[in-house]
Amino acid sequence: MKLSVNACDKISNAIEKYSDRVYRICFMYLRNKAEAEDAFQDVFLRFMQTTKEFESDDHEKAWICRVAINRCKDIVKSLRYKFVSLDNIPELHFENEQDSTVLDAILELPPKYKDVVYLHYCEGYKASQIADILRSTENTIYSQLSRARALLKERLGEDYEC
């Protein structure tokens, strides 16, 4: 089937704008490159299939983050994921050793803390915005951020910054 110019542009733009974000969320949650790649493709497929009219770019970005998080949660809950042996999960190697250490610490966080850490520190969302995306309350987000910081501090010591 021949795609329209609009559809092609939409695909290119979406991948250019959101590929890094989506992949990060997927990887943080799933800690597995193969699973993360599957989830990554699923998220973009949903994005292209949705008929939702977005009010703004921010709205679009928040929607895609939400979809990515939900998709990852679904995978985590699935039987297939539960039976993946931890031995099969490849070790993460980053050129920067410090980054690797921090990432290990973040990935060890409980999922609910990973969400807020990513959205706050990487995407720069405020607590109220995170509450909207995760459909939670602002106070909850504050307390989750506080606990996440405490855990990171515990694991990384004093030598890290947000």
Partner 1 sequence: MKIMSVKSALESIKPDEKLVYNTEKLLRSRIGRKKFSLSKLVAAAACLPIVLGVLFLSFYVYNLPVSYISFDVNPSFELGINRFDRVVDVNYYNNDAKSLMSKKEVYLHKPAEAIDVIMAELDKKGYLPIDKSTTIAIAVNCKQPSDSNKLLGECTKNLSKYPERINVIGYTVTGQFREEADSLSISFGKLKLIKIIQQLDKAATVKDFEGQSITSITDYLSYLTSDEYTGADENIKNSVKSYIDSIKTKVDTDSKTNTEKQTAIAEPVKTAVETEVKAEVQTEVKAEVKTGAANETGAGNVTTDAAAAKATAEEEAAKATTDAAAAKAAAEEEATKATTDAAAAKAAAEEEAAKATTDAAAAKAAAEEEAAKATTDAAAAKAAAEEEAAKAATDAAAAKAAAEEEAAKAATDAAAAKAAAEEEAAKAATDAAAAQAAAEEEAAKAATDAAAAQAAAEEEKARAENEAAEAGT
Binding site for partner 1 (CB under 8 A): 1, 3, 7-8, 11-12, 15, 19-20, 22-24, 27-28, 37, 40-41, 44-45, 48-49, 94, 96, 98-103, 106, 117-118, 121-122, 152, 156, 159-162
Beta carbon of residue 121, minimum distance to partner 1 (angstroms, whole number)? 5
Is the Cβ of residue 25 or residue 137 nearer to partner 1 in the bound state?
Answer: 25
Is the Cβ of residue 42 or residue 137 nearer to partner 1 in the bound state?
Answer: 42
How many other CB atoms are there within 10 angstroms of residue 58's CB atom?
11
Beta carbon of residue 155, minimum distance to partner 1 (angstroms, whole number)? 11
User: DSSP secondary structure string, 103-135?
Assistant: HHHHHTS-HHHHHHHIIIIIS---HHHHHHHHT
Integer Cα distance of 75 and 67 in angstroms = 12
Integer Cα distance of 155 and 139 in angstroms = 24
DSSP 125: -
Amino acid letter, residue 60: E
Rg (CA), the chain: 17
Integer Cα distance of 60 and 54 in angstroms = 6
Beta carbon of residue 78, minimum distance to partner 1 (angstroms, whole number)? 16
Is the Cβ of residue 79 or residue 162 nearer to partner 1 in the bound state?
Answer: 162
Beta carbon of residue 99, minimum distance to partner 1 (angstroms, whole number)? 4
Residue 57 CA from chain centroid, whole number? 18
The half-sphere exposure of 107 on its side-chain side, counting CA atoms within 13 A, is 17
Is the Cβ of residue 73 or residue 92 nearer to partner 1 in the bound state?
Answer: 92
Beta carbon of residue 4, minimum distance to partner 1 (angstroms, whole number)? 9
Is the Cβ of residue 57 or residue 97 nearer to partner 1 in the bound state?
Answer: 97
